[in-house]
């Protein structure tokens, strides 16, 4: 007998876990995400395991991004670019190697 649970059917696959591209235009002529900025985001990763609270992770991530300004880039776009770096383990959907 098939042991597939209802959760297995409801859980998104890896292709659906990737966030869509930001719809906000990046007006900067040239920009880059500095390694130190990525490291700051990776200091408090969310893995989706144990008793981690995703809402707390999102609040902390938003607070960190509110302190960062990149000329020619809206904050929401910066958040779209940085958010995948805040995930690890099961929560990154296998798209990032940490």
Give the domain ranges of the chain: 24-92
Q: How far apart are the first and last CA of the chain?
A: 37
∠ CA 21-26-27, nearest 5°, is 165
* pLDDT greater at residue 61 or residue 96: 61
* pLDDT greater at residue 61 or residue 71: 61
Kindly write down the DSSP assignment for every residue of 8-38, as one continuous string: HHHSPPHHHHSPPPPSS----SS----HHHH
Query: Considering the chain, what percentage of its residues have pLDDT values greater than 70?
Result: 61
What pLDDT sits at residue 38?
87
Can you give the pTM of this predicted structure? 0.61
Confidence band, pLDDT 50/70/90 cuts, at residue 7 = low
* pLDDT greater at residue 1 or residue 32: 32
- The candidate with the shortest Cα–Cα distance to 89, out of 17, 35, 4, is 17
What pLDDT sits at residue 35?
85
Mean pLDDT value of segment 45-61? 89
What pLDDT sits at residue 59?
93
Tell me the pLDDT of the chain averaged across its residues: 76
Residue 92, both tokens = 């990154």
């Amino acid at each position: 007998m098939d042991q597939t649970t209802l959760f297995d059917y409801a859980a998104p696959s890896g292709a659906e876990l990737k966030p869509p591209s930001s719809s906000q235009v990046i007006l900067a002529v040239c920009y880059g995400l500095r390694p130190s900025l990525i490291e700051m985001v990776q200091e408090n990763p969310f893995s989706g395991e144990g008793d981690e609270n995703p809402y707390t992770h999102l609040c902390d991530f938003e607070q960190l991004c509110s302190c960062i300004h990149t000329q020619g880039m809206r904050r929401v776009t910066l958040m779209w670019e940085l958010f995948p770096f805040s995930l690890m383990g099961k929560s990154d959907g296998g798209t990032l190697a940490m």
